[in-house]
């Protein structure tokens, strides 16, 4: 066992222990506050709804523990116990081209990992979501979605993977700059294509009909100086009872999307306020800031991989006998979350800051009181806990906890 193996196992143990500890804190905190509605919501959320949210959170937490144990076992099997090494040797013995052998090994491992995660996803959908009244999916639709996702991953991802591996082999020590540029260009292209090419493969998007709601939203867009390619209603209710709204796309290919069950739940003024919040992310340049952040962190990741790729201890420490570009790429993508885990609270902090800024923008262009009432309805209908553990929330939550967010909006109003 070399030094890097020891470092990896130690870091992995610390991260895993922290994850389980935080999850235990969250479950205990939610359970301790299960029987009393927080003061800020006494007039708007019933005790029954609050308890349902607590029970739903606890059920998902239990499933999360199972997923974490599964993830621990899978990562250890793939790395120090030689799973990746076995698959790469299996493909190398049968495929003459090193490039295609590497692509095939990564594809096979990705397929095996995806298939192994289906039982947990199935349980989450057809047991937990069903128990709490959120599941609208069917087994046939579930299987169809899984097949389509795998097909898209293969059809789009494998050519990009092959190109990156070819770049790694062909352009010398600066390969990581070229690979980063290709990956970021591809990500931008996918963001631009997603609204009109990818998303319609999974859901139906219907242009919003003329009427009072469309007139109100069009007025909001005009006030905010936001141009889009249309306002659409998505049939989200065919899979889930959870409602949402978002805008998607880049450049001249932006779309505003409301889930159909959200439109059914909120009144027109609440929908306007929710959309004003989403527009706030755009007007405050949060999308651009996130793209820049992602670009920088991806560049750093490729630079680190560029340094590690010719180090024998990197491969040997993770159970791989024969170094290759494809193995390095896969190993790095698997272990990077372990070594960057404690950066997560920093990312979550800035995401919550963006949410506050978007709320402030919404308060200037719509009624803050309507955003409050709309959010409360969403918290209740989505069974979002009103009492998360503060430390857990600061570590994981990309949105401010309900009570904190509502207090901020009421102060703004």
Point out the residues that are catalytic: 278, 359
Q: Are 376 and 328 in contact (CB under 8 A)?
A: no
How many whole angstroms separate alpha carbon 276 and alpha carbon 367? Answer: 9
How many whole angstroms separate alpha carbon 214 and alpha carbon 228? Answer: 13
- Please spell the DSSP secondary structure of 22-59, one letter per residue: HHHHHHHHHHHTTTS--GGGTTTS-HHHHHHHHHHHHH
**Residue 58 vs residues 128, 230, 282, 391, 401: alpha-carbon distances, Å:** 10, 39, 34, 17, 17
Task: Mention every residue, 6+ apart, whose C-beta is less than 8 A from residue 113.
Answer: 74
> Does residue 234 sit in helix, strand or coil?
strand
> How many other C-beta atoms are found inside a 10 Å radius of the C-beta of residue 232?
20
Tokens of 299: 């560049």
How many whole angstroms separate alpha carbon 362 and alpha carbon 360? Answer: 5
Q: Are 388 and 22 in contact (CB under 8 A)?
A: no
- Please spell the DSSP secondary structure of 249-262, one letter per residue: -SGGG-EEEEEHHH
> Does residue 337 sit in helix, strand or coil?
helix
Q: Are 63 and 124 in contact (CB under 8 A)?
A: yes
Residue 121: burial class (beta carbons within 10 Å; 0-12, 13-18, 19+): middle
Q: How far is CA 276 from the centre of its chain?
A: 22
How many whole angstroms separate alpha carbon 349 and alpha carbon 354? Answer: 9
């Amino acid at each position: 066992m070399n030094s890097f193996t020891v470092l990896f196992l130690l870091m992995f143990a610390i991260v895993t222990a922290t994850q389980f500890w935080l999850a235990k804190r969250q479950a205990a905190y939610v359970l301790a506050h299960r029987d009393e509605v927080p003061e800020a919501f006494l007039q708007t959320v019933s005790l029954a709804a609050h308890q349902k949210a607590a029970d739903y959170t606890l059920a998902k937490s239990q499933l999360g523990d199972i997923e974490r144990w599964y993830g621990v076992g899978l990562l250890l099997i793939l790395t120090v116990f030689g799973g990746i090494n076995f698959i790469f040797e299996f493909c190398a013995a049968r495929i003459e081209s090193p490039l295609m052998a590497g692509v095939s090994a990564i594809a096979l491992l990705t397929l095996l990992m995806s298939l192994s995660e289906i039982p947990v996803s199935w349980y989450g959908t057809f047991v937990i979501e069903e128990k709490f009244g959120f599941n609208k999916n069917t087994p046939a639709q579930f299987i169809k979605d899984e097949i389509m996702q795998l097909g898209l991953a293969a059809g789009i991802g494998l050519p990009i993977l092959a190109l990156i591996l070819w770049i790694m082999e062909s352009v010398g020590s600066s390969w990581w700059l070229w690979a980063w540029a290709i990956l970021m260009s591809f990500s931008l292209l996918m963001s631009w294509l997603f609204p009109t090419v990818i998303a319609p493969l999974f859901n139906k998007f219907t242009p919003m009909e003329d009427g009072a709601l469309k007139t109100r939203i069009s007025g909001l867009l005009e006030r905010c100086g936001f141009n889009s390619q249309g306002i659409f209603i998505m049939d989200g209710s065919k899979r889930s009872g959870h409602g949402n709204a978002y805008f998607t796309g880049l450049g001249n290919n932006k779309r505003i999307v409301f889930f159909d069950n959200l439109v059914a739940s909120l009144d027109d003024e609440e929908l306007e306020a929710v959309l004003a919040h989403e527009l706030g992310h755009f007007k405050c340049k949060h999308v651009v800031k996130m793209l820049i952040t992602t670009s920088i962190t991806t560049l750093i990741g490729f630079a680190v991989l560029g340094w590690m790729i010719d180090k024998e201890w990197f491969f040997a420490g993770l159970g791989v006998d024969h170094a290759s570009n494809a193995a390095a790429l896969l190993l790095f993508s698997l272990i990077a979350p372990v070594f960057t885990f404690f950066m997560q609270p920093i990312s979550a902090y800035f995401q919550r800051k963006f949410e506050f800024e978007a709320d402030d923008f919404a308060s200037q262009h719509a009624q803050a009181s309507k955003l409050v009432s709309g959010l409360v309805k969403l918290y209740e209908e989505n069974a979002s806990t009103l009492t998360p553990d503060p430390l857990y929330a600061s570590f994981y939550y990309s949105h401010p906890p309900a009570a904190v967010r509502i207090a901020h909006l009421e102060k703004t109003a």
